[in-house]
Amino acid sequence: MSLQSRIESLSTRHANLDKRIFDEDTRPAPDQGMLNRLKLEKLRVKEEMERLRGQT
The stretch 25-34 carries a mean pLDDT of: 96
Cα dihedral: 35, 41, 39, 31 (round 10): 0
Question: For all residues of the chain together, what is the average pLDDT?
Answer: 96
Q: At a CB cut-off of 8 Å and minimum separation 6, what does 14 contact?
A: 42, 45, 46, 49
Is residue 56 over pLDDT 90? no
**How many structural domains comprise the chain?**
1
Residue 1's pLDDT band, with cuts at 50, 70 and 90, is confident
Q: At a CB cut-off of 8 Å and minimum separation 6, what does 35 contact?
A: 21, 24, 25
Per-residue pLDDT, 3: 93
For residue 17, the enclosing domain spans 3-55
